[in-house]
Amino acid sequence: MTQKFASRRHALDHGFLTGTLTQTWILALPCKRLHGNAGRMEPGRGRTGFRPIDKEVAVTNLKVRHSQLQRLIALVAVLALLFPVIGRAQEEEEPQVTPEPTVAPAEDAVQLQYWDMQWGSPTFMAALQNNVTEFNRTHPDIHVTFTQLSWADYMQKILSAIQSGNPPDISGGDSGIAFNMAAQGQALDISDLYAEWEADGTLEDMTDWAHEKWDWNGMRPGVTWQFDSRAFFYRKDLLEQAGLEVPTTWDELMAAAQALHNPEEGIAGIAIPGKQGSYDTDQFWMTLVLQAGGGIADAEGNLAIDSPANLEALQFEKALVDCCTARGTPSWTFTEVLRAYEQGQAAIAFGGGWFIADIQQNAPEIFENTGILPVLVGPGGEEAAHIVSFANPWMIYNQTEHPEEAKVFLRWMMEPENLRKLYEAEPGAKWPVYESLVDAPVYQENELLTELARQTVENGVDYWYPNNAAAVGIGSMGTSLTDLIVNPVITGNRAPEDALRDAQAQLEPLFQRPES
């Protein structure tokens, strides 16, 4: 998405189970944030969102027998289908079907239904429809109808279609949708396509995480077609005036933020999101978590929130907030971060790729003095130098009556040349899954696009990295990382150690599996 929280598309709101676990839950729609003047929103990362009725019931006091635990895990997986699992959202409107393709179906053509999200502006959506039309023109025996859905209720519509036995043949969605569908037996295993892609060299060109993410439980439920990436934007002129080198490590970032923080002049050293109930807030902490060598779960799928690496990341964020951010940071989303940067009120800003086009349009003088920091090296060392890049998939549904034709369409859509057309429709809104596309003209228009495209293919991973054994649990946390950990710590209401310990206890049931 030309993802602008503040102006173009937005960063996908992810849904997770939030708060402390109880035996009674009420559904809560994922938060959708409007980004900016262009009034577009989008999903970047999806997680299923629920709110417990009684937030005072501690998980540690919840007693469940084995049979009850099985029912609980099944319930979590079902609930996880109901709402998105990660990302951005465009300004919510009624779901709409795009205009009928210009190519009429042949009388005996196989009919396929492809549903996907409002991933961007009308320009981007037209490019997506144009790809479908081109496929129909070059494959007269197959006819694909594209239906555009709203982020507000797309999961309800998909779930309803599944229950009625009439789901789409293919869809896109948030970055966890394929796992949640696979957990319910609704995702077609496309391992045969992966075998073809390995044989013809496609996987070799694809970034590792774009395909390794979907190697799950002996199947391949989806494939990544675009990344939604985060980065540190900085004022080159302010660094130069202060005589500072471009930060490459956590320590250097801290030193630069301290040196550039100037409240008297209305300039924060760094701008980050911190608002309660916002998916934006956990993305900065998770960037630090990855760079510290931490993660959400271990290789066996067990929750690993309360770890030394995650603690170090949280302590570092708290120190940054205390020394070098604006006073209102605990109420900020990406909208406020971008606004502060564009108004010259922040020397460094953490945000999404959609910031690039927004800054260029709304603050051209600042754009000319903006750079993207290199991927920072933290306590995890160079091998842990990652950025958060949500891997958003396409998938085929298990109920399709035409699996082979659906694979033909998916294979065609995943061809580098066809993805390139989509990426070109909104520079900076989507990031490439193929290394060969980093050199495409769309990513050479300015140095910010070039740098973030490179970082995406070389360093981009998301919350399921490196252990997707806990895929459904990760996709069921709602805004828990924000609400239980990050916001309480940066506001001073909780100590980092206590927040992580309590979050581990409260979220652990989501990651439990029935005993064999």
Mean pLDDT of 215-240: 98
pLDDT in tens, 264-314: 999 999 999 999 999 999 999 999 999 999 999 999 999 999 999 999 999
Half-sphere exposure in the Cβ direction for 143 (13 Å, CA): 13
**Do 174 and 141 share a structural domain?**
yes
DSSP 3-state of 394: strand
**Do 162 and 205 share a structural domain?**
yes
**Do 306 and 261 share a structural domain?**
yes
Q: What integer pLDDT is reported at residue 262 of this predicted model?
A: 97
Q: What integer pLDDT is reported at residue 515 of this predicted model?
A: 57
Contact between 246 and 239 (Cβ < 8 Å): yes
Residue 327 lies in a domain: yes
**Do 301 and 426 share a structural domain?**
no
**Do 280 and 216 share a structural domain?**
no
Residues facing residue 113 across a β-bridge:
145
**Do 255 and 206 share a structural domain?**
no
**5 pLDDT higher than 80:** no
First to last CA, the chain: 43
Among 55-69, 104-118, 127-141, 282-296, the range scoring the smallest mean pLDDT is 55-69
pLDDT in tens, 81-91: 443 333 433 33
Q: What integer pLDDT is reported at residue 46 of this predicted model?
A: 42
**Do 339 and 204 share a structural domain?**
no
Residue 5 lies in a domain: no
**Do 382 and 397 share a structural domain?**
no
Task: Say how many domains are in the chain.
Answer: 3
Q: Mean pLDDT over all residues of the chain?
A: 85
Residue 115 lies in a domain: yes
CATH number of the domain encompassing residue 215: 3.40.190.10
Residue 47 lies in a domain: yes
DSSP 482: I
Residues facing residue 97 across a β-bridge:
147
Residue 116 lies in a domain: yes
Residues facing residue 170 across a β-bridge:
114, 396
Q: What integer pLDDT is reported at residue 245 of this predicted model?
A: 98
**417 pLDDT higher than 90:** yes
CA–CA dist 92, 474 (Å, integer): 26
Residue 172 lies in a domain: yes
The Cα angle at residue 479 between residues 234 and 389, in degrees rounded to 5: 45
CA–CA dist 29, 497 (Å, integer): 30
Domain end: 35, 64, 81, which one?
Answer: 81
**Do 371 and 261 share a structural domain?**
yes
For the chain, the maximum distance between any two Cα atoms, rounded to a whole number of angstroms, is 72
Contact between 348 and 256 (Cβ < 8 Å): yes
Q: What integer pLDDT is reported at residue 103 of this predicted model?
A: 87
pLDDT in tens, 401-412: 999 999 999 999
pLDDT in tens, 362-386: 999 999 999 999 999 999 999 999 9
CA quadruple 512, 480, 208, 430: dihedral positive or negative?
positive
Residue 155 corresponds to which tokens in the numbers above? 């999961």
Residues facing residue 117 across a β-bridge:
149
**214 pLDDT higher than 60:** yes
**Do 221 and 176 share a structural domain?**
yes
Q: What integer pLDDT is reported at residue 514 of this predicted model?
A: 60
Contact between 106 and 143 (Cβ < 8 Å): yes
| Segment holding 126, helix H or strand E | helix 122-138
| Segment holding 412, helix H or strand E | helix 403-413
Query: What's the predicted TM-score (pTM) here?
Result: 0.83
**Do 494 and 383 share a structural domain?**
yes
Q: What integer pLDDT is reported at residue 71 of this predicted model?
A: 47
Residue 14 lies in a domain: no
Q: pLDDT above 70 covers what percent of the chain?
A: 80
**Do 490 and 369 share a structural domain?**
yes
- CA 341 vs CA 280, 352, 355, 474, 499: distances in Å: 16, 13, 10, 31, 30
**100 pLDDT higher than 50:** no
Which residue range(s) make up the domain with 216?
A: 110-228+390-450
Q: What integer pLDDT is reported at residue 512 of this predicted model?
A: 86
Domain end: 40, 64, 81, which one?
Answer: 81
53 Cβ contact partners less than 8 Å away, ≥ 6 residues apart = 22, 24, 25, 26
Residue 36 lies in a domain: yes
**56 pLDDT higher than 60:** no
